[in-house]
Amino acid sequence: TGVANRRLFEERLQQEFLRLRRSRKPLSHMMIDVDYFKSYNDHYGHQQGDETLARIARCIAATVHRPADLVARYGGEEFIVLLPDTNASALELGRDILHAIRELNIPHARSNSADRVTVSIGFGYARANQLKSAKQIVLAADQAMYFAQASGRNCVASAAANTREIEPALVPDK
């Protein structure tokens, strides 16, 4: 796909977590899932599916501009964006990614949410010094992504990782 892999993401996540924990700075993370991708692959074929994933990866990477940010493939049809030293203000970036992927205008005849390829984005955030481990930020983003999917897909949801009970919320679209 032309972006980093999960292993590199996990290494960078741990490095940034330790660095930001010392400085008491925020850490954010986005988990991005291509909506109804299995149906897409079944209908258009795996080769077209691979090409679509590469286009989506390039689109995400083109939307993320800061050198310290990392775009990676997490597995299957999931991508992740590590956003060190970033708080909830990065939600705007989530909206930008959502819109950029919509504007790719890739047809998806088997989607239950739109007639083109869309994504669901979960955004997790916290001050690194308020986390026991870096995995908490991944869990928050993952739960927010599932919340976005349960809320109709093709949207962004967010969750603070430093609460006892993670309560995702939908992010209003522009």
Q: In whole angstroms, how far apart are CA 98 and each of 73, 117, 133, 166, 173?
A: 16, 10, 28, 23, 9
Rounded Cα distance between 134 and 77, Å, is 22
For residues 80 and 113, the answer to whether their CB atoms sit within 8 Å is no
Active site residue 77: yes
Catalytic residue among 11, 51, 77, 78: 77
DSSP track, 107-163: B-TT-SS-SB--EEEEEEEEEGGG-SSTHHHHHHHHHHHHHHHHTTSSSEEEEETTS
| Active-site residue set | 77
